[in-house]
Amino acid sequence: MKYQNHMIIRVLILLSILVISCNEPIARKPVTSKGDTFFKESIELNKKLNAEEEEMIKNFIKSDSLTEYITTPYGFWFTYIAKDTLVKQSIKKGDMVNFTYEVNDFNGNNIYPLQEKIYRVDEEILIQGLQDGIKMLKENEEVIFLFPSYNAYGYIGDKKKINGRQTLKYRVKINSIQPLKK
């Protein structure tokens, strides 16, 4: 008898669970967060700040009417100081590139004096603009890059001498290229 009572209780519990679970699901309201507007506002602010920075660069280029600047698909500009039209070798991923560079702001102030660097292309970290820009050059070429902050050090800067959202001019010379050995 005791066994039957336990069995009846178990069956009743099971039936009540089934009845409860068969109810219609309750529709929930979409989850919205206060962050949604923050992200939209942030995107709009970034677009505005980037447009202002690009306008500053374009005004700089207009004021330097004797120099021809080339617009890249990467969002920066450059001009040749020395261009090599004979060399066909281009820089590829894995190549070791020896180059010199100096960094200036748009007021002509020197931020970092001339430095030499050896860089394994796309396997070491450089600012995005320099990573893309170096691959466009050949040995013995020298250029001036105009990098908006989003192609340089972004919002933060380098925490040394470069401020956040700072537009930069890099003077770069490719000294040598050592192709990746296969």
Residue 61: domain span: 48-178
pTM for this predicted structure: 0.77
| Residue 27 in domain | no
Per the structure, the count of domains in the chain is: 1
Our CA angle for 106, 177, 99, nearest 5°, is 25
pLDDT for position 85: 85
Does residue 13 lie in a domain region?
A: no
Tell me: pLDDT of 66 over 90. Answer: yes
Whole-angstrom distance between the N-terminal and C-terminal Cα of the chain?
84
Please check whether residue 126 lies inside any domain of the structure.
yes
- 73 within domain boundaries: yes
In a domain, 36, yes or no: no
- Helices marked H in the chain — which ranges? 2-21, 35-63, 128-134
pLDDT score, position 56:
94
Quote the pLDDT of residue 43. Answer: 87
Residue 24's pLDDT is what?
A: 65
Mean pLDDT for 16-22 is: 63
When pLDDT is averaged across residues 32-41 and rounded to a whole number, the result is 74
- Confidence label for 6 from pLDDT (cuts 50, 70 and 90): low
Question: In the prediction, which pLDDT does 2 show?
Answer: 60
pLDDT score of 136: 95
pLDDT of 8 higher than 90:
no
What pLDDT is attached to residue 31?
Answer: 62
Tell me if 123 is assigned to some domain. yes
Parallel/antiparallel/unpaired status of strands 168-178 and 77-82: unpaired
Domain assignment present for residue 128? The answer is yes
Higher per-residue pLDDT: 38 or 15: 38
- Residue 22, pLDDT above cutoff 90: no
Q: Which helix or strand (DSSP H or E) is residue 117 part of?
A: strand 110-120
Residue 11 within any structural domain of the chain: no
Cα torsion angle, 36, 38, 39, 44, sign: positive
Looking up residue 122, the CATH number of its domain turns out to be 3.10.50.40
pLDDT value at residue 132 = 97
More confident residue, 5 or 111: 111
- Tokens 């099971």 sit on residue: 14
